[in-house]
Amino acid sequence: MFMLEGPQWSIISSKDEEEKQKEQVEDEEENNEENKQQNLLKHKLTSKINNDKFSYVSISQYASSGSVNLNTGSSLWDASTFLVHYFEKNGNQLNKLLSLNDSDNNTLNILELGAGTGFSSICLLYLFYLNEINNLNRINVIFTDIELCIDNLKKNVKRNELKLKKHLNVDCFVNVLDWVDFSELSITEKENYLQNTLLKQVTMDNNSCNVIDNEDNHFDIVVASDCIWLSDLFEPFVNTIDALFKNSPKLQLFISNQKRSEKLDQKLKDHFHTNFTIEILQETTKFYLYKITKQ
């Protein structure tokens, strides 16, 4: 058994005195017995195309424990911040995401795989607000991860969803999706889970529990940050991606990874070499962000 060293995270402190006092009260309220093993992190997001309008994102991650899965799955990793920083600096790219949506009621469905703390998709929602992208009737975000990460993920989603609902018509859902278990299902069972568990949520009226529009039964955007940090995760991961593209051929997949293995990175490219288009949105010596679509 081994432990991974967590990323270095700097807490933003450039706030006026009133903001400091307000957020100090919020922090004290959240610092109860249940959260003693967690670190509350705050990140400042800024709209580069809207007069530097900004907002703070709050998430919690688990401190060191005896579980490798808990530390890796419920910690914030740098590939997530790499993805978020790209869209923060390129706010115009968010408008392009809306071109994916061809349903009459103008709804956007986002799925995050291996969401961990939920940071990537939570930040995307804040950026929709900060860049005043408000021509959507509804945004649905489905956060998924293994069972061990779900409690902390739910807390982070709830912590930010209440604030986001003041500005966006957004609904957030948290579900278990273990790629290893999912990849062992039959084709029919996979489709049933995607349609009758994950997607069924986004077609329901929250008040009446009636189906409001079956046209929403597809994914528009799938986000995956640092999901294949172990070679053993590769096959279950791409198997899950293949099932998602089969369900929703028009989806756009955003994969952000830290470069750990040239062999694994090349294997990912090879998997999507046929019948897919890979666009390199940003790449450095340590990270890359791909947008993958089906031809």
Which of 196, 43, 215 has the alpha carbon at shortest distance from 118? Answer: 43
pLDDT confidence band for 1 (50 / 70 / 90): very low
Q: What is the pLDDT of residue 14?
A: 36
pLDDT value at 17 more than 50: no
Q: What is the mean pLDDT of residues 45-60?
A: 79
Higher-confidence residue: 115 or 18?
115
Q: What is the pLDDT of residue 252?
A: 93
What pLDDT, in 10s, does the model give residues 212-245? 454 557 899 999 999 987 788 899 999 999 999 9
pLDDT value at 207 more than 90: no
Q: What is the mean pLDDT of residues 60-64?
A: 66
Higher-confidence residue: 216 or 176?
176
Backbone angles phi and psi of 136, in degrees to 5: -110, 135
Q: What is the pLDDT of residue 205?
A: 53
* DSSP string over the chain: ---PPPPP-PPP----HHHHHHHHHHHHHH-SGGGTTEEEEEEEEE-TTTTT-EEEEEEEEE-S-S-HHHHHHTS--HHHHHHHHHHHH-THHHHHHHTT---TT-EEEEEEES-TT-HHHHHHHHHHHHTT----SEEEEEEEE-GGGHHHHHHHHHHHHHHHTTTS-EEEEEEE--HHHHHTS-HHHHHHHIIIIIIHHHTB-TTT--B--GGG-S-SEEEEES--SSGGGHHHHHHHHHHHHHH-TT-EEEEEEE---HHHHHHHHHHTSSSEEEEEEEE-SSEEEEEEEE-
Average pLDDT, the chain: 79
Q: What is the mean pLDDT of residues 177-181?
A: 92
Q: What is the pLDDT of residue 103?
A: 52
